Amino acid sequence: MTTATTASEGASRLADGDVDCVVSGYELPASTGVELLESVRADDPDVPFILHARRGSEAVASDAVSAGVTDYLRAAPDGRRHSALADRIVDAVQSRRADARDRDERSRELERAKRLLAQTERIADVGGWELDADTEALYWTDHLFEIFEVDDDRPPTLAEALDAYLDPDREDVAAAIETARDAAEPFGLDARFERTGGEVRWLQIRGEPVVEDDVVAAVRGAVQDVTDRKEREAELERAEARFRALAEQFPNGGVHYFDRDLRYRYVAGGGFDAIETSPEDLEGRTVDEVEPYPAETAADLESVMTDTIEGARRCETLRFEGEAFEVRSAPFRGPDGDVLGGFFIAHNVTERRRRETDLERKNERLERFARVVSHDLRNPLSVAQGQLRLAMESGRTDRLEKVADALDRSQSLIDDVLALARSGAAATDEEPVAVDAVAQRCYETVDTPSAALDVETEQTVRADRNRLRRLLENLYRNAVEHNDGEVTLTVGALPDGFYVEDTGSGVPEDERESVFEVGHSSSAGGTGFGLKIVDRIADGHDWDVSLTEGSEGGARFEFTDVDVVSTE
């Protein structure tokens, strides 16, 4: 404990060392205890100060309280004043020490909060700011200086801060701040900032007005570098644009994206041009809500989409609006692997399936054709080989005639095979052809000594002249080879085509369908290709051919759906 007799001496003692508590009387030489209190408080506002007055009044107590006294105690007439004063001193010192501990703890918490804020700002690449609405004084957090590459610790003025942004973003930021000050409206916008080296970065600026007594006192906000996010968004937009372009141009089908509720979110594709349903009929609707879907199609699609949302891939063929669609689906997963939705591609495979079916039929016909050709060629070649061996062994030249016949037979088969192969293609050299002239010309060139020709048509039709000649020649030969004795051939007109009939024995009704098959022949010398060639030539012209009974019981071949140019 240190004692001083005057106010000046007491102030000097306070300046010399650490003092836990000051106890002063009111009446001091050349001063008062209140004046000493005021002097102490000027240097140390926290040290406990107890005014212990022998005589006092309410005025003294009021002055002491106004000057910041810790406690005011009037001296008691007996010795109790000492114990009371001691208690007050202990309470004041303990209270001060407790306050000091609280201040230290708050200081440490504040420092910890500052460090956490600074680290958070660096991690999030975000800085804070505050603008005084009246003075336009601007405050920046430390990381905001780093974002703007400002070395000076002095916060810039509002004009200097705005100059950091590029046009026309600068005007947008200034207008947003002005609106926050004048209308108390918060804002958020993105603006571009150019670094010292010329690199352009995107910053997200947010601000909120601070309103006091219905007046905007300040605007506080944050600035965050969002360049990476902007680049990702731009790449995502480019990817989405590419996806939409590909989807919209997807040939002969459509791309369908749907969410977990089986609701279409995006639909596009070139295949919608061929059907009545449009992407607009699907987007925003679930499968059950799409009116054009029949019940069966809706059920099939719902099954595909449900399995896809559950993580499966599906491939199904569905029919819709008379077309066949191959549907292939796959789930769409997020970064964590969860299924966010699904998509499927519907490809119109109607024409492909038709081609596949035609190809299968052609392959079957080719296989049968190959079997017939190999069998029919093997027979005459075997005969030729056998006869040639016998001729060489015996020296008899008469056997060579049989060899020549067998080779002629083989040559006929080869000629017919080539004719059959060439007759199957579509006729491309069509021209107006007079049927009567071609019919007469064919009669003159084909070896038909036992046949007469009667032409009863003056039609002109569009046809491949050479193929029409082959058709008529084969029909002439067929009539002669399959009938004994003389026959009359008649070429006549039909309303949409022409016919060829003979006066032979005809073809039984139960065999009329099979005569157009490869290898069918009732003549020992026939190759079995003649009428198949006729059928293929008709098919190449898109004509229909049928076999009926002629007017005199013979065979009548009718060709209809012919392009008749004129009838005279």
CATH number of the domain where residue 50 is located = 3.40.50.2300
Do 196 and 171 lie in one domain? The reply is yes
Please check the confidence at residue 333 and state whether its pLDDT lies above 50: yes
pLDDT per residue over 186-201, tens digit each? 999 999 998 888 899 9
Do 159 and 261 lie in one domain? The reply is no
Q: DSSP letter at 273? A: G
Do 183 and 315 lie in one domain? The reply is no
Residue type, 550: G
**Final residue in a domain of this structure, among 197, 225, 253:** 225
Please check the confidence at residue 330 and state whether its pLDDT lies above 60: yes
The predicted pLDDT at position 366 comes to: 66
pLDDT per residue over 429-459, tens digit each? 889 999 999 999 988 877 777 889 999 999 9
End-to-end CA distance of the chain: 149
Mean pLDDT throughout 243-258? 82
Return the residue matching tokens 């209270």.
95
Following CA atoms 24, 25, 28, 32 in sequence, which dihedral angle do they give, to the nearest 10 degrees? 80
Please check the confidence at residue 55 and state whether its pLDDT lies above 90: no
Residue 230 lies in a domain: no
CA 349 to chain centre: 22
User: Comparing C-alpha atoms, which of 251, 273, 274, 254 is closest to residue 264?
Assistant: 254
Please check the confidence at residue 113 and state whether its pLDDT lies above 80: no
CA torsion through residues 508, 510, 513, 519, sign: negative
Cis omega (within 30 of 0) for bond into 168: yes
Report the alpha-carbon distance of residue 350 to residue 322 in Å, rounded. 9
Return the residue matching tokens 């088969």.
413
Report the alpha-carbon distance of residue 264 to residue 302 in Å, rounded. 12
Number of domains in the chain: 5
Please check the confidence at residue 522 and state whether its pLDDT lies above 60: no
Do 522 and 512 meet the contact criterion of CB atoms below 8 Å apart? no
Report the alpha-carbon distance of residue 308 to residue 329 in Å, rounded. 7
Residue 108 lies in a domain: no
Which of 103-107, 178-182, 209-213, 371-375 comes out lowest in average pLDDT? 371-375
Do 62 and 74 lie in one domain? The reply is yes
User: Comparing C-alpha atoms, which of 9, 96, 111 is closest to residue 50?
Assistant: 96
DSSP H helices, 125-226, are: 142-147, 158-163, 169-183
pLDDT per residue over 138-178, tens digit each? 999 888 888 888 887 788 899 999 998 999 999 999 999 99
Return the residue matching tokens 């509720």.
261
The predicted pLDDT at position 422 comes to: 52
Please check the confidence at residue 523 and state whether its pLDDT lies above 70: no
Tokens representing residue 499 in the block? 């016919």
The predicted pLDDT at position 177 comes to: 95
Return the residue matching tokens 């290709």.
529
Residue 457 lies in a domain: yes
Whether the model clears a pTM of 0.75, i.e. scores above it, the answer is no
The residues with which 247 forms a beta bridge, in sequence order, are none
Do 403 and 507 lie in one domain? The reply is no
Return the residue matching tokens 């975000």.
126
pLDDT per residue over 305-328, tens digit each? 999 999 999 999 998 888 889 999
Better-scored residue on pLDDT, 470 or 203: 203
Q: Which residues of 505-534 are buried (b: 16+ CB within 10 A; e: fewer)?
A: ebbeeeeeeebbebbbbeeeebbbbbbbbb
Do 449 and 560 lie in one domain? The reply is yes
Residue 185 lies in a domain: yes
Q: Domain residues for 299?
A: 242-348
Residue 237 lies in a domain: no
The predicted pLDDT at position 186 comes to: 95
Please check the confidence at residue 91 and state whether its pLDDT lies above 70: yes
Q: Which CATH number belongs to the domain containing residue 553 in this structure?
A: 3.30.565.10
Mean pLDDT of the chain: 83
Report the alpha-carbon distance of residue 34 to residue 397 in Å, rounded. 163
User: Comparing C-alpha atoms, which of 12, 43, 20, 35 is closest to residue 89?
Assistant: 20
Estimate the share of the chain in helix, then strand, then coil, as percent rounded to the nearest 5.
45, 25, 25
Phi, psi of 365 (to 5 degrees): -65, -40
CA torsion through residues 260, 262, 268, 270, sign: positive
Please check the confidence at residue 524 and state whether its pLDDT lies above 80: no
Tokens representing residue 435 in the block? 């049927």
Do 443 and 537 lie in one domain? The reply is yes
Do 93 and 137 lie in one domain? The reply is no
The predicted pLDDT at position 380 comes to: 60
Do 284 and 336 lie in one domain? The reply is yes
Please check the confidence at residue 393 and state whether its pLDDT lies above 50: yes
Please check the confidence at residue 383 and state whether its pLDDT lies above 80: no
CA-based R_g, the chain, Å: 55
Q: Which run of H or E residues covers position 493? A: strand 487-494
**Final residue in a domain of this structure, among 166, 199, 225:** 225
Please check the confidence at residue 480 and state whether its pLDDT lies above 90: no
Report the alpha-carbon distance of residue 209 to residue 224 in Å, rounded. 18
pLDDT per residue over 343-356, tens digit each? 999 988 888 888 88
Report the alpha-carbon distance of residue 350 to residue 338 in Å, rounded. 35
Q: Which CATH number belongs to the domain containing residue 414 in this structure?
A: 1.10.287
Better-scored residue on pLDDT, 221 or 63: 221
Do 502 and 543 lie in one domain? The reply is yes
**Residue 511, C-beta contacts closer than 8 angstroms, at least 6 positions apart:** none
Do 18 and 61 lie in one domain? The reply is yes
Report the alpha-carbon distance of residue 565 to residue 568 in Å, rounded. 9
Do 447 and 475 meet the contact criterion of CB atoms below 8 Å apart? no
Residue type, 392: M
CA torsion through residues 535, 538, 544, 549, sign: negative
Residue 119 lies in a domain: no
Longest pairwise C-alpha distance within the chain: 176
Do 36 and 53 meet the contact criterion of CB atoms below 8 Å apart? no
Tokens representing residue 105 in the block? 């703890």
**Final residue in a domain of this structure, among 71, 102, 133:** 102
Better-scored residue on pLDDT, 28 or 118: 28
The predicted pLDDT at position 525 comes to: 47
Tokens representing residue 494 in the block? 């039909």
Which of 40-44, 57-61, 203-207, 551-555 comes out lowest in average pLDDT? 57-61
Do 61 and 172 lie in one domain? The reply is no
Angle between helices 7-16 and 33-43 (to 10 degrees): 20
Residue 232 lies in a domain: no
Please check the confidence at residue 373 and state whether its pLDDT lies above 60: no
Tokens representing residue 188 in the block? 């958020």
Residue 2 lies in a domain: no
Phi, psi of 388 (to 5 degrees): -65, -40
Do 1 and 22 meet the contact criterion of CB atoms below 8 Å apart? no
The predicted pLDDT at position 526 comes to: 47
Q: How would residue 18 be classed by pLDDT, with cut points 50, 70 and 90?
A: confident
